[in-house]
Amino acid sequence: MKVMRELHAKRVVIKVGTSSLVYPDGAINLRAIDQLAFVISAMRHRGREVVLVSSGAIGVGLNYLGLKKRPKAIPEQQAIAAVGQTELVSIYKERFAVYEQKIGQVLLTRDIFVYPESHQNVLNTFEALLAQNVIPIVNENDTVAVDELDHETKFGDNDQLSAIVATNIGADLLIMLSDIDGFYTGNPNADANAELLTRVERVTDATYEQAGGSGSRFGTGGMVTKLKAAERMLAAHGQMILANGEDPAIIFKILAGEPVGTLFG
């Protein structure tokens, strides 16, 4: 008998990784984007407040420009992100419009949350968008975000960004969609005995020891960054679920309380 979860999910942040939006060969996964737009629109129409934190700018930019390899130079990456972000939001706008749902783009850097005035301004923007039933689509402003001496503007990855946004806007739940089914006792790609954990109540040093590995060639995240995001959510008395985003319809199962993925909380 399945034990159903009890979730608080009036205000939800959904983070989708590049691997869920871009195929391994670099092509854009339009089916997944369409399904994501459908699910989020349905959530909004049922009264939930939803913020989407979307990776994929560089992955989509590489595809748009016909490039097979991510460049190492920061200015080149930023240029590709600028092109890819425009294309990505255009695709989102087109797909959300099919379901009669309006979207708004919010590009952020870490320093926005450091300075009180800009911090309050961005929170006001989120509240105004949600009040008008608009879905904020959030990404890091990759064209300007760099780690430079004492002026650090970069979040580092969208796992951290999603948790920072979720805790700042008072979200009940962070749903993190990735290319893995959840958090395992070991690396499932290397350890046949690794088991999927359905729930993690606390993130400890031992939890971090079980994590490892980096993200895909199109993204930047790994399991450690997801654990840091979970730790941030737990500290704010929120919940986080890590699940496989291959089919975004899994969000319906999550919200129904089905024990899919790993619940942190």
Question: Could you tell me which residues are annotated as the binding site?
Answer: 15, 55, 142, 158, 178-179, 220-226
Handedness of CA 66, 71, 75, 80 (dihedral sign): positive
Structure tokens at 183: 């958090």
- Output the CA–CA distances (angstroms, integers) from residue 167 to 12, 103, 140, 229, 239, in the order listed: 11, 21, 16, 10, 10
Sequence-ordered strand ranges (E) for 144-206: 147-148, 151-152, 173-178, 183-184, 196-197, 199-200
**Residue positions in the annotated binding site for substrate?**
55, 142, 158
Question: Residue 115 carries which DSSP code?
Answer: S
| Cα three-residue angle 239-262-206, rounded to 5 degrees | 90
Half-sphere exposure of 219 (CA within 13 A, CB side): 26
**Residue positions in the annotated binding site for ATP?**
15, 178-179, 220-226
Q: Which residue matches tokens 């749903």?
A: 175
Quick check: 70 and 218 in contact, CB under 8 A?
yes
